[in-house]
Amino acid sequence: MALWARLMVNAEQIGVVEIQRREFLDLTAQASIQDEVSTYDVTVDGQACGTVRHRYGDGAWRLLALAAEAVAARNAAQTTP
């Protein structure tokens, strides 16, 4: 699974976020996948920003929020002397 988000300010695109799941998740399996937790790679404008762990049942908006937190933490670490 991949989640893509364009970051826009008014009509100007300022970035692209890609979130890619590392593990294969069998969506056709009989077992419930709502509680499956997977690792996702977060990339912004083609640069790796880290990984996040996400429960499938929490949905795409929560995954995007986790990715934003990972990017913010990376940026803070890079700007801290």
**pLDDT at residue 28 is higher than 80:** no
pLDDT at 47: 93
Mean pLDDT computed over 8-30? 88
Q: Which residue has the tokens 């998740």?
A: 25
What single-letter DSSP state applies at residue 26?
-
Q: Look at residue 52 in the predicted model and tell me its pLDDT.
A: 97
- Taking a C-beta distance cutoff of 8 angstroms, is the pair 43, 63 a contact? no
CB contact at 8 A, 19 and 41: yes
Note the helical H segments in the chain.
59-79
What is the rounded average pLDDT of the residues 6-21? Answer: 95
Question: pLDDT (tens digit, 9 = 90+) per residue, 30-45?
Answer: 667 888 899 999 999 9
Contact assessment for residue 67 and residue 52, using Cβ atoms and an 8 Å cutoff: yes
Distance CA 67, CA 52 (A): 7
